[in-house]
């Protein structure tokens, strides 16, 4: 009988904490980390702030210990377009928003961009051969199992911080199952 009273008392003591957590909801929290869908299955990072959802965040293990790349997807559930305007990482003070494209002659070229659009009700993916985050001058070598915190700044004023695990380069595929070749910037 004593054990049942202890369990009941502990459950009753925890009830106000549970109710407060439920009442807070995602709109009152500065940032809600949520592992969803493939991001959870692949051990990739995800976070949500307001109408912006960042998921499938990861970094292939850098082949060059000083340079790496981060891939992710940004979904904008708002009714107005937004734009990624800045990036920072815990791995280096030198990170850039980049885009890989093709020249008229068919050559692949990477360039730094100051803005990456995220349409209202849409998703912009950061993938090999497209938009991505370049991490330059990495201070400490990164290996599989490490993590990098990535902060994205948006034109709307929102800031989203997500943890991107370092995974094997062979883990190359986006949330939509697209294969990705691991050549180029590593």
pLDDT single digits (tens) 56-101: 999 999 999 999 999 999 999 999 999 999 999 999 999 999 999 9
Residue 4 three-state SS = helix
CB neighbours of residue 133 within 10 Å: 25
| pTM for this entry | 0.72
CA dist 103 → 9, 71, 100, 130, 137 (Å): 69, 23, 10, 13, 27
d(CA 71, CA 178): 12
pLDDT single digits (tens) 6-58: 333 333 333 333 333 333 333 323 333 333 444 455 799 999 999 999 999 99
d(CA 26, CA 9): 29
């Amino acid at each position: 009988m004593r054990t049942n009273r202890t369990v009941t008392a502990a459950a009753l003591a925890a009830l106000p904490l549970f109710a407060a957590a439920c009442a807070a909801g995602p709109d009152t929290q500065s940032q809600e980390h949520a592992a969803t869908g493939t991001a959870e299955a692949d051990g990739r990072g995800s976070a949500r702030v307001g109408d912006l959802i960042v998921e499938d965040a990861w970094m292939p293990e850098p082949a060059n210990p000083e340079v790496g790349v981060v891939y992710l997807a940004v979904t904008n559930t708002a009714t107005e377009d937004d734009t990624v305007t800045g990036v920072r990482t815990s791995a280096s003070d030198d990170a850039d928003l980049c885009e890989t494209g093709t020249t008229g002659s068919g050559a692949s070229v990477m360039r730094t961009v100051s803005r990456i659009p995220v349409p209202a009700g849409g998703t912009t993916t950061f993938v090999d051969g497209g938009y991505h985050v370049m991490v330059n001058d990495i201070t400490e070598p990164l290996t599989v199992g490490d993590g990098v915190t990535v902060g994205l700044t948006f034109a709307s004023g929102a800031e989203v911080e997500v943890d991107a695990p370092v995974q094997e380069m062979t883990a190359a595929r986006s949330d939509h199952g697209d294969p990705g070749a691991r050549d180029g910037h590593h």
